[in-house]
Structure 1
Amino acid sequence: MPIEKEHKEFYKVDLDEGWETPPGYPPGIQQQILAGFLDEKNMLGYRTRHLRFGPGAYTTAPFVHDYWEEVYLISGDLTVGNDEDGNGGESFGPNTYACRPPGTFHGPFKSNGGCLLLEVHLYDAPAKDDE
């Protein structure tokens, strides 16, 4: 059974509240869930979130997941493809975007000065039976 999206009208997002470090992420990287729920065990749902990197925060290995991911860099800098020590990679600035299908390897990631991302994660809707 698909997870329904909730109805949310415009409201002011408090960028000072509701942040947590996602499981498996290093300190200095936090998420703020804006809407939805992603059930990775049952491969259902969607999630819209902010992800922020503190200055100098980085991941050490590529990511791969079984859901779609859209990422928009709102502010700051993001380096893609650094090594496990945070060196190297390609740097991107605000107003850059990525859309990744399930199974795409991406990262690791680093931010020298810190950044704020808007991310949408979603599983494809299950196929409807033609009965």
Structure 2
Amino acid sequence: MPGTRLDAAVTLPGEDFSRVALTGAAVDLLRKLWGQHGPLMFHQSGGCCDGSSPMCYPAGDFITAEADVLLGLFDIADGVEPKTLEFWMSREQFNYWSHTHLTVDVVQGRGSGFSVEAPEGKRFLIRSTLMDWPS
């Protein structure tokens, strides 16, 4: 899947465009991590340092609430069984980034957070671009 992009299924009411995507490298790493940890989820909280990186957790390990927005759903299956991954963002952060499209990518290096990719010597990061608003 390298070189391709997987757009999330739309989850925000009234919208018909994806706000978040995964690079092929991110999908490949997520499939590996799913095999090690089971179902996964992302949460983007904002903040400083690694708090601004997307954190990947085993599904349900990070409790979401009304203070969070479900930005998209990904099916990262590589076979018959679906593998649905949720991408959440804090509502406060969404207010700042509502005009951007986010792409989750992977780079070498370890973050200092609790994200499950840390032992792999890689970390997820967000690449953002201004939204191309549908006409």
Q: What interval of TM-score do these two structures reach, taking the shorter chain for normalisation?
A: under 0.3
Higher helix share: 2
TM-score norm. by structure 1 comes to: 0.26
* Structure with the greater alpha carbon radius of gyration: 1
TM-score norm. by structure 2 comes to: 0.26
